[in-house]
Amino acid sequence: MTGIHHLGITVTDLARSLDWYTEMLGMIQWGEEHYPGGHTALLMRPDHSLHLGLDVHDRNGGESFAPHRTGLDHLALAAASRDQLAQWYAHLTGKGVVCSDIKDFVLGPTTGALFTFPDPDGIALEVITIDLPSQS
Q: How far apart are CA 82 and CA 133, in angstroms?
A: 15
Are the beta carbons of 113 and 85 closer than 8 angstroms?
yes
Domains in the chain with CATH codes: 1-60 (3.10.180.10), 73-136 (3.10.180.10)
The whole-number pLDDT of residue 135 equals: 63
Q: Is the pTM of this model over 0.85?
A: yes
Q: Name every residue whose Cβ is closer than 8 Å to that of residue 17 and which is 6 or more positions away in sequence.
A: 9, 11, 41, 54, 119, 120, 121
Phi then psi for 134, rounded to 5 degrees?
Answer: -70, 145
Report pLDDT for 72.
86
Question: Given this model, what pLDDT does residue 71 score?
Answer: 83
pLDDT of the chain, 136 residues: tens digit per residue = 667 778 999 999 999 999 999 999 999 999 999 999 999 999 999 888 889 999 999 998 888 888 888 788 899 999 999 999 999 999 999 999 999 999 999 988 889 999 999 999 999 999 999 987 766 5
At residue 6, the pLDDT reads 85
Instruction: Yes or no: say if 92 and 41 are a contact pair by the CB < 8 Å rule.
Output: no
128 — phi, psi (to 5°)?
-135, 145
Dihedral sign, Cα of residue 113, residue 54, residue 10, residue 63: positive
pLDDT of residue 39: 93
End-to-end Cα spacing for the chain: 29
Q: Report the pLDDT value the prediction gives residue 108, as an integer from 0 to 100.
A: 83
Give the count of beta carbons closer than 10 Å to the beta carbon of residue 133: 10
